[in-house]
Chains A and B, each alone.
Chain A
Amino acid sequence: QVKLVESGGGVVQPGRSLRLSCAASGFTFSSYGMHWVRQAPGKGLEWVAVVIYDGTKKYYTDSVKGRFSISRDNSKNTLSLQMNSLRADDSALYYCAKAEGQLLETIDFWGQGTLVAVSS
């Protein structure tokens, strides 16, 4: 069965960096796009970024463009999110999520999330 396990969250000061990882199993990782989606406490879902199956195309929500970088290692079935210049409004539960099918446009499996808190 599909399993997505996020790690790397924690408390970090504004302006610092953090790297999230997601270990994937139970499916052919190299065949699917992968998303990061976040959810601030008590708020709705916010899409962050996506990378296509081979890592050659990446898309970001406007608020993280230039600060966050999504990447994948298909040899290790791992998805990453490098987060730089963190701000208080980046505080959220970050979900790793698998794209459904060959397109990027929807998500069929989610991890349980890793919590990021940006605070001085």
Chain B
Amino acid sequence: SYVLAQPPSVSVAPGKTATITCGGNNIGSKNVHWYQQKPGQAPVLVIYYDRGRPSGIPERFSGSNSGNTATLTISRVEAGDEADYYCQVWDSSSDHLVFGGGTKLTVL
């Protein structure tokens, strides 16, 4: 089955840029989606189809996808961005939805 690899944690200072990676075999050929989950809350879709932003998601959130790595970038990080972030793809070879293991973003 398809596997997505994320770093367990990323730390960034307020106002700086956070980069969270999601690795997978030829992931650039798939559509990647990203979710933000704050403690005690349900996940929220922040990026879909590699780089699309749902309504209400700040422009500070952006995504890219190429080769074996997809990336979520959060510019001008704020304290409120502290959360777990999950990447996700649909594996059409198995008809399974696959999540990465999640990355905890800490704002220093």
Which residue of chain B lies nearest to A57 when distances are taken between CB atoms in the complex? Answer: B95
In the docked arrangement, what's the CA distance between A47 and B96, Å? 8
CB distance from A113 to the nearest CB of B (A): 7
Size bracket of the B interface:
20 to 34
By DSSP majority rule, is chain B's interface helix, strand, loop, or mixed? strand
Interface hits, A62-118 → B, CB 8 Å: 62, 95, 100, 103-108, 110-113
Whether A113 contacts B48 by the Cβ 8 Å rule is no
User: Which of the 9-residue segments B18-26, B59-67, B68-76, B83-91 touches chain A?
Assistant: B83-91
Listed from nearest, the 9 A-B pairs whose CB atoms lie closest are: A105-B90, A110-B42, A47-B97, A106-B33, A44-B102, A59-B95, A45-B99, A44-B101, A108-B45
A-B contact pairs, 28 of them (CB 8 A): A35-B97, A44-B84, A44-B101, A45-B37, A45-B88, A45-B99, A46-B99, A47-B96, A47-B97, A47-B98, A47-B99, A50-B97, A59-B96, A61-B96, A95-B43, A100-B48, A104-B90, A105-B89, A105-B90, A106-B49, A106-B90, A107-B43, A107-B97, A108-B45, A110-B42, A110-B44, A111-B42, A112-B42
